[in-house]
Structure 1
Amino acid sequence: MKIRFFGLLILITLLFWSCNTTKYVPAGEYLLNKVSIKSDNKEIKNDGLKEYIRQTPNAAVFGAFRMQLGVYNLAGKDTTKWINRTLKRIGDPPVIYNATSTSLSVQQLQKVLENKGYINAKIQTDVRFKGKKAYVKYIIHSNTPYKLNQYKIDLKNELLANIASDTAKSLIKPNMLFDVDVFNSERQRITSSIREQGYFNFNKEFLSYYADSTLNAHKVNMSLDMQENLKRSSDSVNNVIFKKFNIRKVIFYTNTDANVTTDLENKVEMDTVTFRDFILISPKKRILKLDALVQNTYINPKSLYSDEAVEKTYSSLNTLGPIKYVNISFKEVDKNQLDCYIVIVPSKTVTLSTELEATYSAGYWGVGGNINTVNRNVFKGAESLSFLVRGAFEKQEVIWAKEYGVQVGLKFPRAILPFGSYDFKRNIHANTEFTSALSYQSRPGEFTTTNASGGITYSWNRKQFRHSFQLFNLSYVQINTEQAFRDMYLNPAKPLFNPYNYNDHFIMNMGYAGAFTTFNANRPMQNYSTARYTIETAGNFLYALSNILGNEKVDGSYKFSNVRYSQYVKTEFNLTHHQIFDKNNRLVYHFDVGVGIPYGNANVIPYEKRFFSGGANSVRGWGESMLGPGIYNRITGSSRDFNQVGDIKLDMNMEYRAKIIKMLEGAVFLDAGNVWTIKDYATQQGGTFKFDTFASQIALAYGVGIRFDFSFFILRFDLGAKLYDPVLSRREQWRIKPGWSDLAFHFGIGYPF
């Protein structure tokens, strides 16, 4: 009853704010309430035209509630009172309909359509007034568009003609719409291809299109040629334009001022270091070693000038921790040579950060956090040394579960390999990270766990792709169980928990992780997706070594240093798609599937490597690791059921995110998922994955959340409720009237996905 009362109260408040919208609309004027675009041509995407509308209504939360306008309208007219000034500062004033802005929008839309080939398009506006609100509709009559009839390349220069005639890479296609944007992109493609071959002085303005639309039938003939003034220029001018340049030297200059001169004669008080035509000029107290800069520079002496090399150098250097700003320029020093000047402004190298998290589910409170300090230039070569300390506590009935841990990482901005030449390692442009960690978990009256690990990982980026390869990671897990816990849950006659999870074990694994995004920083309002994929294997090397050495199995397993080791393969795929409606509203879809298979030396995957469901980033109607596997019914009387893990994971989420006021965001979400075991384990009855039953075992949850956007991090509070609980009887599975036990509260840093 109380839950429904609070929900009704929130709904009434939202409706009040959405209705009281014209309080500060002056007499004789109108609140712009809705703007829409209608087209008679399905090929014209209305969403792409919205950004050209000059005047849009006040932002609406979830597309209906104008919260920021509502806050503004809560203010009184007496501006001497601080509360009124504060409400007006936090909220947004009403957007008043402006006929001039509507006319300018028509002009903008007309221009955009003409550039897309709809030269004869007409735009009609339908403005209606209801009460004190205005509704504006832009109606597009596209008419017959112009299309490309013939495309001719009329370039006298052989180099230009060969590149422009590359039909495989050309963006110009027969019978395409007369799209100005495509023609401009093709001109840029040709220009980039020419500059990639060392033609430093060439730019796209040297190329011109000539159109002939006298054919009628809405057809256009196009030709590509050099600018007329270049045709008339002397040979000496053309020789400058079509002259190839090589890089003579690359000169790095480190300084706290980005606007430094590149005149080397004025650097008398600076130290100079030279290596293979790379020169570092820096203060006597050197900020960075030359080798670290060379390793992350794609511009090479004695090579042709390349735009791509410049962009990759910007990107690579800007990823180095001690660098704040990079500026690259070139100077002609000979008839066909360039000196490259790279000015580097350093940033702060030592940072300290903290993270907090909290959970509440089924009456259990949990809180955790970590402190992380990083020195991003520990050896003056952009090496990053990190030190993280973590602690977590959870109150479960009569015990306090505690977890402590430390992690140390040392990352080098280069590939550290036992083979390969200097140039080979430099061209890889990879990072090498050494990590070690130690954690301790205590559950009084039950068990303690100590986990020590260390490994080596290589990572590298290629445009929109990120890759990492874990060469190896070796971890040793030591578990000490209390006698009372063993008697109750690990009784050999009928164990309630899998005994395998409570024995000491080694994990020696290697793996690959990849990530991809379609996000374009130049078009942040465009829909985009991100994907992540991981695969790891463990125990194969030790298993092969055991067979080669002829070791004998003990209790059905090989051992390493008298400790059993795990053997498995595990993979996971994660996909997130952002559907952006406007700068204040978006719908985010998330899909996550994972599979782990034990084999060889193991019958089950180690507990810490198995999947779990529920929690702040999963099905939020359940607490962390309190859902599944399958329809497994948790052990009553246990503060935490360690059987609630699986080998197969499925998460599906849909979340609507909306900006409410300033830094406050709201969200509503629907989650689905569960975990399953891949084998029939006696201690996890009902948890096995079966194709004919898994669909009915997918749990559902819904909820609301608020997020505080502090620019540098997101503080998140989510309240989830069970909607469908597959464990319960058929009559109780659908939780239409949720009680307090059906709720789970989550606190975290950052978005859930």
Structure 2
Amino acid sequence: MRNTVTKISLFILTGIMISACDAVKRVPMGKKLLTDTEIFVNDQKEKSENISNLLYQKPNSSILGYKLRLNLYNLAKLDHDSVYKAKFANDPEKYRRKSKWLSAKQVNRLGESFYYAGIHDFLRDTGEPPVIIDKKSTDKSSTRLRSWYFNNGYFKTTTRYETDSVAAKKGKIRYYVTTGNPYFIDTVKVSIKTPVLDSMYNLRKENSLIKTGKQYKTIDFNDERTRITTQFRNNGVYNFQQNFITYDIDTLNTNYKANVDLKINDFSYREGDSTKTEPFKIYKISEVNIYTDYGVNNSKSTANDTIKTVYNNFNLLSTSKLKYRPKAITDAVFINKGNLFADFRTTLTTRYLSNLKIFNYPTIQYEVNKKDTLGNSLIANIFLTPRKKYSFGYSLDFTHSNIQDFGIGGSTSLSIRNIFNGAETFEIAARGNIGSSKDLANPDDNFFNVSEYGLDMKLNFPRIFMFFNTERIIPKSMIPSTTISLGFAKQQNIGLDKENFTGAMTYNWNPKRNNNARFDLFNIQYVKNINVGNYFKVYNSSYKRLNNLAHIYNANPAYFENGNLIIDQGTNAFITDVLSGNPAIAASEEDRKTISSISERRERLSENNLIFASSFTFSKTTKFDIKDEGFYAFKTKIESAGNFLSLIAAASKQLKNQNGNNTIFEVEYSQYLKGEIEYIKHWDLNRKKILAFRSFLGLAVPYGNSNSIPFSRSYFAGGSNDNRAWQAYSLGPGSVASINDFNEANLKIAVSTEFRFNFFGQFNGALFADAGNIWNVLDNIEDDKAVFSGIKSLEDTALGTGFGFRYDFNFFVVRLDLGFKTYNPADESGKKWFRDYNFANSVLNIGINYPF
């Protein structure tokens, strides 16, 4: 039956593709479909995409040579409304019969249904109309090519084109560009009328982008305008704009040399009906006014209805009693009385005030101080519109997972701004989830038999909250902040029913634009497992392996119920018999090691964890906005845990427990050193094609009070954001054949490459390759297959390849990726390459947004 359906589907799909393959179906008589464009520069074929992108007309897009969007467009009936009406015009009796069965109105509306209209509208909008060769567009392309080369110093460029017929109603265009010799800059003369500007220019003259010997490029002249304007406006020249800079370029009889005369005249402005000219002035800030509740009454406060508070040469104005401590606001302002006017101070002030999150985007305006008889001072007016002090948020979700057959989750949050009148922000959020699971014991026959709830609190200060002054180390220009957070979560009938307590004190600042530094003075996590006896119900793979071995070695029948080991009594008794050397069970050395490994893993994953860590994270990116697709991002982190608690344990001179470790509140605390480094690079290949690369290296080394890394701080491999040919936690460690449910280790290496391209509209595709694995190193794992022992262990690097589909909703991306096991280091058949490279063993990943 399945084969029949497949054959029918293929037959229908083939028929659709054949019917659409008439690419010139909608090309009018006497016109030609553009099938190809070629550009020849000085008789050499130009393949640069930067040049080809200059053309107004390009052939219809294709996927592996197939013009999918054009053929979809050709499938659509553009006149579906007329076709529908013609059907009844030719058979009025049919219309009367349908009108009796439905109604005249409903019959007319049928023409707007998906079958008659919707599907054709979809095909038309999704598809792409044929690109018809058009002389006007071709002439514009030729002109644009000539302009591009002209702007790059080829002043004698000529262009022409030829249109060739390649088939009926099909044609191609060849463009020919003859550039001639390029022009180079010879002499550069600078004429600046205002003396103070001339002196200022000469201070940075060596940074000029227009230099003798460089090939002429228009972009250099534009960038030089920007450089000069930025220099002047950051040094007090308030009235200066780019249009005050002009160039005279002489190329007449200069033997391909360009003599440049850069001119900056005096400031000219209109006053009444006349134009006046005067030298540019250097302006200083004489007054800074901060309107702290601007917009509350939808108007600027006046002197008669404001309360004025003077603090450190700042005037804070409000229509009622000032609601903020003055220092909290003035610390965010970098425009100071006595400073020269500077654009960068305006930008920095805007960023800092926005970062406070208690105001809407601020407005900063300048006006000449009329009280200054010399007319060279400015008043800075900063208008701040407060956000609402209280804001509420909530969400409701319906979920399905491998734990819950059905679940309802919800959260609610409250934000309080300026809680202590120092621009602080306090957030408290509560979340909860109830669900139904038929796999759990349910003696009361309750539909909702699993639950989880939690509470999180976060307090943010717009400064470094420290017992000493950090201004010299981290100046306020780095926009520092301090966050104190607390959290609690509890599970019931989920896993081992954990209780999770967290607390952290975090400092954030930006050393440079697009650089971020984070220092966690402390990050505390306490994980308490309430239902440890549920271990083998959760980690089912370990249970199955243990159960099989119990049958092989004829374990005590009292350990079984209905043919399986009893959880928890039977499993514990069988493990004890094997590891204590009970003569009734003559287990092989290999099986004894397996049972020992299962026991050790259970002990590690079910033990309570106390982590007291400090960490430092630094990240940098060259990405300036969400549309920037050519960038790199770098991130590194180092974390240390347990040292502070070790000092407390040593000072208290407490006795070590039976495992030889120190405890705090009767819990063995974790001690380790962890380091990570990640690098991401994107190459924009134009035409919505992007090559993305990511590499990651992480290592966590236990020492002192620990011989392993806590599960929550260890690494795993696989999943939608990692190696997509394996499910999460199912890859590794090393060449181990994933006998456990959640495989993790303390060393991870991962490299991924992804080629992204556009099908049509918001629908995108990708081809990817993910390589990497996890290993154990310098911990208590002794299995050679799992331990990283040197370069040779890199042979256990897994490789997954595949393809994906994505739909971009602008504010997020829905992603479907299908991964195939290309190289499986755990395959013991001797054929590690392409053994499981088929759809039956593929892994479907569903994700939100791109993996990197």
TM-score, scaled to structure 1: 0.84
Q: Name the CA shift for 1:539/1:91 in 2 (closer, same or farther; >3 Å).
A: same
Compute the displacement of 1:315 (Å).
Answer: 2.8
Determine whether 1:538 maps to 2:641.
yes
Partner of 1:410: 459
| Structure 2 stretches lacking a partner, 5+ long | 82-110, 112-116, 269-275, 442-448, 534-567, 581-595
In 2, Cα distance between the equivalents of 1:620 and 1:5? 27
Q: Name the CA shift for 1:413/1:44 in 2 (closer, same or farther; >3 Å).
A: farther
Q: Name the CA shift for 1:671/1:427 in 2 (closer, same or farther; >3 Å).
A: closer
In 1, Cα distance between the equivalents of 2:368 and 2:267? 24
Q: How do 1:7-26 and structure 2 match up within 5 A?
A: 19=21, 21-26=23-28
Determine whether 1:578 maps to 2:682.
yes
Q: Name the CA shift for 1:269/1:600 in 2 (closer, same or farther; >3 Å).
A: same
Q: How do 1:583-598 and structure 2 match up within 5 A?
A: 584-598=688-702
Letter in 2 for 1:626: S
Asked if 2 retains the 8 angstrom alpha-carbon contact of 1:359 and 1:745, the reply is: no
Compute the displacement of 1:96 (Å).
Answer: 2.8
Letter in 1 for 2:31: E
Partner of 1:296: 332
Partner of 1:474: 524
Encode CA deviations 1:562-614: one digit per residue, 9 max, x unaligned. Answer: 32222222222222222223353323222222222222322222111011100
Partner of 2:851: 752
Partner of 2:77: 76
In 2, Cα distance between the equivalents of 1:509 and 1:339? 49
Q: Name the CA shift for 1:680/1:281 in 2 (closer, same or farther; >3 Å).
A: closer
TM-score, scaled to structure 2: 0.75
In 2, Cα distance between the equivalents of 1:314 and 1:143? 49
Compute the displacement of 1:114 (Å).
Answer: 1.9
Partner of 2:289: 250
In 2, Cα distance between the equivalents of 1:411 and 1:119? 59
Q: Name the CA shift for 1:397/1:736 in 2 (closer, same or farther; >3 Å).
A: farther
In 1, Cα distance between the equivalents of 2:69 and 2:296? 41
SS at match of 2:80: coil
Identity across aligned pairs (percent)? 25
Partner of 1:233: none
Q: Which of residues 507, 520, 542 is equivalent to 2:611? A: 507
Determine whether 1:387 maps to 2:429.
yes
In 1, Cα distance between the equivalents of 2:817 and 2:239? 56
Encode CA deviations 1:537-586: one digit per residue, 9 max, x unaligned. Answer: 11222234444555554433233333222222222222222222335332
In 2, Cα distance between the equivalents of 1:733 and 1:365? 36
Letter in 1 for 2:641: A
Compute the displacement of 1:724 (Å).
Answer: 1.9
Compute the displacement of 1:659 (Å).
Answer: 3.5
Moved more, 166-175 or 188-197: 166-175
Q: Is the helix fraction higher in 1 or 2?
A: 2
SS at match of 1:693: helix
Compute the displacement of 1:100 (Å).
Answer: 1.3
Compute the displacement of 1:257 (Å).
Answer: 9.1
Partner of 2:539: none
Asked if 1 retains the 8 angstrom alpha-carbon contact of 2:707 and 2:779, the reply is: no
Moved more, 665-674 or 84-93: 84-93
Q: Which of residues 355, 374, 379 is equivalent to 1:339? A: 379
Determine whether 1:455 maps to 2:558.
no
Determine whether 1:495 maps to 2:597.
yes
In 2, Cα distance between the equivalents of 1:624 and 1:654? 19
Compute the displacement of 1:630 (Å).
Answer: 0.8
In 1, Cα distance between the equivalents of 2:159 and 2:464? 58
In 1, Cα distance between the equivalents of 2:158 and 2:171? 22
In 1, Cα distance between the equivalents of 2:574 and 2:433? 28
Asked if 2 retains the 8 angstrom alpha-carbon contact of 1:152 and 1:224, the reply is: yes
Compute the displacement of 1:510 (Å).
Answer: 1.3
Q: Name the CA shift for 1:49/1:740 in 2 (closer, same or farther; >3 Å).
A: closer
Determine whether 1:609 maps to 2:703.
no
Q: How do 1:9-408 and structure 2 match up within 5 A?
A: 19=21, 21-35=23-37, 37=39, 39=41, 46-60=48-62, 64-80=65-81, 81=111, 82-83=117-118, 84-131=120-167, 132-155=169-192, 157=195, 159-166=197-204, 169-214=207-252, 216-227=254-265, 237-239=277-279, 241-252=280-291, 254-255=293-294, 264-265=301-302, 274-281=310-317, 292-333=328-369, 334=372, 335-344=375-384, 350=391, 352=393, 371=411, 373=413, 375=415, 377=417, 379=419, 381=423, 383=425, 385-387=427-429, 389=431, 405-408=454-457
Q: Name the CA shift for 1:662/1:154 in 2 (closer, same or farther; >3 Å).
A: closer
Q: Is the strand fraction higher in 1 or 2?
A: 1
Encode CA deviations 1:93-124: one digit per residue, 9 max, x unaligned. Answer: 33333221222122223223222222233344
Encode CA deviations 1:21-41: one digit per residue, 9 max, x unaligned. Answer: 443332322333444555469
In 1, Cα distance between the equivalents of 2:850 and 2:52? 27
In 1, Cα distance between the equivalents of 2:309 and 2:12? 67
Letter in 1 for 2:696: D
SS at match of 2:791: coil
Q: Name the CA shift for 1:295/1:686 in 2 (closer, same or farther; >3 Å).
A: same
In 1, Cα distance between the equivalents of 2:70 and 2:763? 14
Partner of 1:431: 481
Q: Which of residues 770, 773, 777 is equivalent to 1:671? A: 770
Moved more, 502-511 or 402-411: 402-411
In 2, Cα distance between the equivalents of 1:558 and 1:246? 62
SS at match of 1:447: coil
Letter in 1 for 2:425: E
Compute the displacement of 1:392 (Å).
Answer: 9.9
| Structure 1 stretches lacking a partner, 5+ long | 231-235
C-alpha RMSD of the superposition: 4.3
Letter in 1 for 2:188: Y
Q: Name the CA shift for 1:319/1:118 in 2 (closer, same or farther; >3 Å).
A: farther
Structure with larger RCO (C-alpha < 8 A, sep 6+): 1
